[in-house]
Structure 1
Amino acid sequence: MTVYEGSFTPPARPFRFALVIARFNDLVTEKLLSGCQDCLKRHGIDVDPAGTQVDYIWVPGSFEVPLVTRKLAVSGQYDAIICLGAVIRGQTPHFDFVAGEAAKGIAAIASQTGVPVIFGILTTDTMQQALERAGIKSNHGWGYAMNALEMASLMRAMAPLTEG
């Protein structure tokens, strides 16, 4: 019996990540991005936009995240993709449509392409809740980056299962 697990140590062949960040609610998404970058940097990833390990793609809002993420995933250039956004409930059903479609789209991309896609879109009832999750109490961006590191490592470790 073989046990496969992801690792958090830098691999011999460097990882490549894409971060897809929604501009809408950028007060929140920029904080998530900062937490994500901090984690990646502390784990040996060069987060400099001029570098070769992380590409940053800004989209208008969370609804647009899946479209761009699919294009990145099928390119075969990335070990994992981290999607960052914030959808905050208002007084209309708009929240449900945006949050639901973003979640479904991101999940479908991961299962259809085999590329780990991290769902880092906060869905909260208030701006205060979003800010608490983006740095006031803790920064979920850090956790999203940890998930990406672990999944990229795990998929690389499992590569022999798909090689013929």
Structure 2
Amino acid sequence: MATSLKNLSEYSQDKFTDISDKTFGIVVAEWHDDITSVLCQGAIDTLLKHGAQKENIFVNTVPGSFELTLGAQFLAMQEEIDAVICIGVVIKGDTKHDDYINHAVANGLTIVSLKFNKPVSFGLVTTNNLEQALDRAGGKHGNKGVEAAAAAIGMLSF
């Protein structure tokens, strides 16, 4: 769904389960850290809002969005981790690098989720420019980190 049609910070919590005993791994790309830090905080705040314990939220960083896949796998392979939330930003540039990274991350995170039978949420902001990324990091389109955390909770409630 196009972000312009939906606020990323709005979600249904009707079917959310109790997550007070769940453990979450968050992997955050350091590239564009001014944006990813806001996305990560949105994810953490959402988890806490719905009952996650602060001591059960583990944040790890990777250099860039391409590395989210391996970071997610490192977290997912830990038995105590119930769900993984991935946070990153890829902004279109002069070349097609964004297409390759976005495709690799989407496929890689799907594979990790299926391999470990755990929710691995896609908190990757993929935009044409910096303004659009800021709009999705607490700006006029909400916070993609909130959406990623809500997706993880929703999948744990499945």
The TM-score, its normalising length taken from structure 1, stands at 0.82
- 1:79–1:116 Cα contact (<8 Å) kept: yes
Q: Distance in 2 between matches of 1:9 and 1:104?
A: 27
Q: Distance in 2 between matches of 1:40 and 1:114?
A: 20
Residues matched between the structures, number: 144
Q: Does 1:134 align with 2:137?
A: yes
Q: Distance in 1 between matches of 2:102 and 2:86?
A: 13
Q: Does 1:8 align with 2:16?
A: yes
Q: Does 1:103 align with 2:106?
A: yes
CA RMSD of aligned residues (A): 1.5
Name structure 1 gaps, 5 residues minimum. Answer: 1-5, 155-164
SS at 1:27's partner residue? helix
Alignment correspondent of 1:36: 43
Match of 1:118 among 102, 106, 121: 121
Q: Deviations over 1:97-147 (max 9, x none)?
A: 211111111011111221110011111101110110111111121111111
Higher Cα Rg: structure 1 or 2? 1
| Letter of the structure 2 residue corresponding to residue 46 of structure 1 | Q
Q: How does 1:39-58 map to 2 (within 5 A)?
A: 39-47=46-54, 51=55, 53-58=56-61
Q: Distance in 2 between matches of 1:37 and 1:70?
A: 20
| Letter of the structure 2 residue corresponding to residue 153 of structure 1 | S
Q: Distance in 2 between matches of 1:68 and 1:136?
A: 27
Alignment correspondent of 2:27: 20
Q: How much has 1:9 moved relative to structure 2?
A: 4.3
Q: Distance in 2 between matches of 1:44 and 1:9?
A: 10
